[in-house]
Chain A
Amino acid sequence: MEDDPLITLKVLDLEGRRVYHTMRMNNRLQGLMDAYYKKVADVTYGSGTFMFDGSIRLRGTNTPAELDLNDEDEIEFFPTMIGGGSVGA
């Protein structure tokens, strides 16, 4: 197992909440996302965007190795931002 090391990734959302998740480099990132949604109860499952460095989007099928993620890297979580509907605020 030496070529598939464990890394710990941190999810930080816009509210400042942090969720840590330890996984293997070749595991799918869906696990990280599920862990975040499980911890943070008020965010609807699957409703936001995970990003690294403000530009690289994480998809559940990707692995940290594919996206060049390292131990201790921080992932941002963005809840869906919507606006412009016709319902009066």
Chain B
Amino acid sequence: MTLGAVADDMEAGGGEHNGRRARFTEDWCCCACAGLFLGPNPMMARYLYALIFLVTNLLAWTLRDYGNSALAELQRLKVCQGARYCLGAEGVLRISLGCFLFFFVMFLSTVNTRKVHDFRNSWHSEWWPAKLVLWLGLTAVTFLAPSPLVQLYGKVAHFGAGAFLVIQLISVTRFIMWLNDWCRSEITQKRCHLQIQVVSIVTYVGSLLGIVLMYVWYAPSPSCKLNILFITVTLVLVQLMTFVSMSSKVKAGYLAPGLMGIYVVFLCWSAIRSEPHTEVCNRKAAVATSADWVNIASFVIAVIVIVAATFSTGIDSKCIQFKQAEGESEEDDIPYGFGFFHLVFAMGAMYFAMIFVGWNASHTMERWTIDVGWASTWVRIGNEWLAAIVYIWMMIAPVIWRTRQKTNRTPSLWAECWLIGPSSNLVGQNLNFMGQKLVEWDKKNNRGGKIMDHIDESSAVEDFDNRPSKKIKCSEPEFLDSDRKLNSDPIPSPASPSIQKLSPIIELEDKQACEIDDDQQLQEDKQIKVDTYYVPQDKQMAELIDDEKQLEEYKQNKVSTYDYLPQDYTMTNLDICAQIMIETSFENDILVKMDEICVKQHQLLCLLDQSQWLNDDVISAYICCIRDQLHMQNMDDAKICLENPFITGLLKRDGNIGVHEDGNFITEIVRNYLKHEMILLPVNIKDTHWYLAVINSQKYEIQVLDSLCWEFNRADLTIMLQGLQYHLDILESQKNLRNHNWKDLQVTKWPVTEQLREPIKKDR
């Protein structure tokens, strides 16, 4: 059972409860004006179900206390063996079993009903004669059941009743917390601030007073150790709940702990009252028994409380749902979950059986008593403690999650990640999404395109995918439905034409974003710290400042020239999912799969761990993502060719050893370059560093984007350009070189310009 989900649900619980209140008034109106048995009205039906439940309760009680008068009739039934087994505790169990079966059948037949015009709705709300016959029939059948079966049911009923108590307790706790939230809302704060204060104080003082009274009544001598223990634990729990609610991190106000205090004290009181009346420490209760009318009244109230509790829990079907319902409820939706309603009543049947027999089927109960015996006491005490724990957990769980991770990593999210995770290409898609986020941000801020604005928009339209090399094509990511559900962000719409001209720089930044994303995730993971990246406007590069001291420096010196990338980036569910996947997979699990590229878990660790390195497969996968984004934005006039690091490696090799006879395919790749205006080549300095070289055929220059600004270390670039030159020479010598956009093919003569003047990434 995910309490966390319940806690999450709490935030949105207000509206739903309001609805419930509104429905209550509606109900009464319906009762008054529509009368009974008119049309399939589920709101009416539930009162009739409650009535059936009440009648069953009274029947069980009659059988237990006054069963002897029915002796004559029952003697005819052979199974009952002279009425020995059909009366007393077992009689209660039989009645309860009949009631349980009835509601369980109803549960099975109505579960998952969603709309009012479903015929199951009319089965739920109409057909009363048939259902009455069913109920009476099932109850009668139980009297023919063999005794061992009934005893077995008695054992099962313990668990059913326990589950009922837990659901009821969560329902009550949720209601109290909703009340608390409602009282703290601004409008109510203004209108009845004073009343709320008074109620809070009264409830708190009341619970303390109740504890004092219990000490006086139920712990008259120091020998009553158990009672003293119960009451003291209650006192501690009340104080603890108050303390937790008031603490600076939770700030839940005063009302909820006050009400919870009263509830807990009430549970403790009823637990002590459940102790057998013969106990010395429970004299007060024994005194109460002597006055008959008080006893009868309290019995009747107890029965009504059982029915009311079952009823109110039954219609609160949202109290144990695992996640928030998606979407608005529609008009023809059923007003409450029928299946859950009947399930609660079925468990309620088990509960009342347990209460009437004092949680112990072999034990005989006094007349007019309800839920008395040591077993009952312990069940109630356990219930009380659980209530306090649930409340405290609901209070602190969000805080714990908030501190551990700025985002809410709820258990249900984990579960969902794992359901969809291993089989899907989740991490890969996420890389893609993170890239899109940056692109979107770019568009929103209308940045980019300044240094690259020389690109002539009217120049030739080329399809960058239309290249001769075999099979270099990234598949479009396949989105699973569940992924869509998880990812709250819409997939970006295709770029508008006005934005298309910004694309070149966006691509450049995305290349860098690979590293940025790494560091960003890392930050979110490791410590809560200012994770900011700055963008020097003049250089148009995304920048990460991962050091607070450095950040201060930048703020002082560069405030006017720096633009901010989204500092308040909160990880989406998909981001967290990806992180969970990486953290929990095995070293050699393949987490990213894009066509030919497979990235294993250990290669992705660079996203989470600063000491890990970025390898060629990760770079390739990310480049694949960028290409996909180009595709998604209909950038088919791509003037840009994004190369993968392996081809760069081959060019470098050819620069070193010269072109050999089997290198024809490289020449073909280079021939494709001539169709583009910018070739983006990721260069690797062996075991050290990645940077990006841009062959800019319109400016006749090699632009270098190096996050570390190692201007002294361009040997790799020179060799690579030499290799490229060899291939260009071959192409030039071939007569069939058709018209291309490059006016000059002597790339080795082109100047190399550094685009960055200050390092944007620091090696530590």
The residues of A with any CB-CB pair to B shorter than 8 Å are: 10, 12, 14-16, 49, 51, 53-57, 73-74, 76, 78, 80-89
A40 CB, nearest partner CB in chain B, Å: 15
Given contacts A83-B684, A83-B688, A86-B610, contact A51 B662 (CB under 8 A): no
Q: Are A55 and B689 in contact (CB under 8 A)?
A: no
**A83 and B613 contact, CB distance less than 8 A:** yes
Collect the chain A residues with CB atoms within 8 Å of residue B646's CB. Answer: 49, 51, 54, 76, 78
Nearest to B660 among chain A residues (CB) is A12
Cβ-based interface call for B653 (8 A): yes
Residues of B within 8 A of A16 (CB): 653, 656-657
CB distance from A65 to the nearest CB of B (A): 17
Chain A binder among B116-124, B464-472, B479-487, B632-640: B464-472
How far is the CB of A75 from the nearest CB of chain B, in Å?
10
Identify which of A73, A78, A83 gathers the most chain B CB atoms within 10 Å of its CB: A83
Q: How far is the CA of A73 from the CA of B664 in the complex (A)?
A: 12
Tier of interface size on chain B: 35 or more
Contact yes or no, A83 B469, CB < 8 A = no
In the assembled complex, which residues on chain B have CB atoms less than 8 Å from the CB atom of A80? 615-616
Specify which of B471, B515, B688 is in contact with A56 (CB 8 Å cutoff). B471
- Given known A54-B665, A55-B596, contact A83–B763 (CB-CB < 8 A): no
Quote the shortest CB–CB distance from B172 to chain A (angstroms). Answer: 53
CB of B649 within 8 A of CB of A78, answer yes
Q: Are A82 and B662 in contact (CB under 8 A)?
A: no
Question: Once the chains bind, are B687 and A14 in contact (CB under 8 Å)?
Answer: no
Q: Is B666 in the interface zone, CB < 8 Å from A?
A: yes
C-alpha gap A80/B616 in the complex (Å):
7
Which B residues are closer than 8 A to A by beta carbons?
A: 469-472, 515, 518, 596-597, 606, 610-617, 619, 645-647, 649-650, 652-653, 656-657, 660, 662, 665-666, 669, 684-690, 763-764
Q: In the docked arrangement, what's the CA distance between A19 and B471, Å? A: 26
Please report the C-alpha to C-alpha distance between residue A16 and residue B687 in the assembled complex, in whole angstroms. 19
Task: Please judge, given known A-B contacts A49-B646, A84-B689, whether A55 and B471 are in contact too, CB under 8 Å.
Answer: yes
Known: A54-B666, A56-B470, A56-B596. A83 touches B653 (CB 8 A): no
**Alpha-carbon separation in the docked complex, A53 to B617 (Å):** 17
Q: A83–B685 contact, CB under 8 A?
A: yes
Min C-beta distance of A30 to chain B, whole Å: 16
Q: Which has the most chain B C-beta neighbours within 10 Å: A54, A74, A76, A84?
A: A84
Given contacts A55-B472, A83-B687, A86-B611, 13 further A-B contacts (CB under 8 A): A16-B653, A53-B469, A54-B646, A54-B647, A54-B650, A55-B471, A56-B596, A78-B616, A78-B646, A82-B613, A82-B614, A84-B690, A89-B763
* A75 vs B763: C-alpha distance when bound (angstroms): 36
Contact B611 A85 (CB under 8 A): yes
CB pair A88 B666 closer than 8 Å: no
- Taking a contact as CB atoms under 8 Å apart, the answer to whether A81 and B653 are in contact is no
A80-B616, A82-B687 given; A55·B470 CB < 8 A? yes
Asked if B611 and A76 make an inter-chain contact with CB atoms under 8 angstroms apart, the answer reads no
Docked complex Cα distance between A48 and B64 (Å):
81
| Complex contact A87–B611 (CB within 8 A) | yes
* Inter-chain contact B650/A76, CB cutoff 8 Å: yes
Across the interface, A84 reaches (CB within 8 A) one of B597, B613, B647, B666, namely B613
Q: How far does the Cβ of B678 sit from chain A's closest Cβ, in whole Å? A: 20
- Complex formed: what's the CA distance from A85 to B690 in Å? 10
Q: 3 closest Cβ contacts across the A-B interface?
A: A84-B614, A85-B613, A74-B662
